[in-house]
Amino acid sequence: MSPRQRILSGIQPSGTLHIGNYFAMMKPAIELQADNECFYFIADLHALTQTPKPEALRERIAQVAVDFLACGLDPDRTVFFRQSDVTQVTELTWILNCITPVGLLERCHSYKDKLAKGLDANHGLFSYPVLMAADILIYDSNVVPVGQDQKQHLEVTRDLALRFNNQYGQTLTVPEPLIGEAVAVVPGTDGQKMSKSYGNTIEIFGAEKEMRRKIMRMVTDSTPVEAPKNPDSCNVFALYKLFASAAETQALRKLYTDGGMGYGTAKQMLFEKYWAYFEPFRRRRAELLANPDYVERILQDGGRRARHVADETLRRVRTRVGLA
């Protein structure tokens, strides 16, 4: 990736953030802010597709803001804001809706997957990719970090940008995906992808006793203590690698393959690494929780900066489509 790209990413305030969120989205996003122009938003409009209770949504938005800042997001380097504070994105969403084929949305696997999980088939859930496209396109984003589960939505974004440009002239920046180790799947306590919907998460800022209990109850196979074990098929080892150095990872791998170590020992090693890793973040989080006005000022300033960019893009779009 060339230097100084404009990068766009968002995170939904759908519940307590876990280490899957951190390693798959937050950590790579924080690393990208050093050499790029980053726009990161709290996707509160997207969260409405699940019709959360208003009080719960407001609490989750505040929690995501605090947790992201505690983990190292730098508001001096990054535009950090609430999605809903940039109302221009909803106008662009409508304009994009008017060039979006219904069949394009019907083919999106995310909609089908959520229906299969029992979520209500509301229009917001169906047209989610169009709002996502507007999020990306309104900031002239060059690069969007995506996991495999969001790759199709970025393809929809690119399709809509090209459709608009073909119909109205070169107006919108066509973004490129950033896919790699930064968005690898993080296994949960049961070995599936870590997800709140599976109830298999380890929270970034969970209570010590509860997090120890979760880790010590992680699912493993029934290989006896004395027998060699395969680290590459063990979700405990997979999580340990995320926190440990190469030398520490190699040392644990040897303990697995030599035999004589029970899974309980590996789990304890994982817990110690996890707890020590997030210790400085917990201290920073406590400071932020004690100063909510500071966090709000960061979000308001981010919203102002984001609106400045969105205004310019929407001015071009409105001119192209014939609006005053």
Catalytic residue list? 114, 193, 196
Question: Phi-psi bin for 227: left (phi > 0), alpha (psi -120 to 50), beta?
Answer: beta
Residue 280's CB is within 10 A of a number of other CB atoms, namely 12
Closest CA to 150 of 200, 199, 109: 109
Count CA atoms within 13 Å of residue 183 on its CB side: 15
Hey, CA dihedral for 49, 53, 59, 63, is it positive or negative? negative
Strands 143-145 and 78-82 turn out to be unpaired
From residue 311, alpha-carbon distances to 25, 64, 87, 307, 322 in Å are 27, 26, 10, 6, 16
CA distance 169 to 163: 10
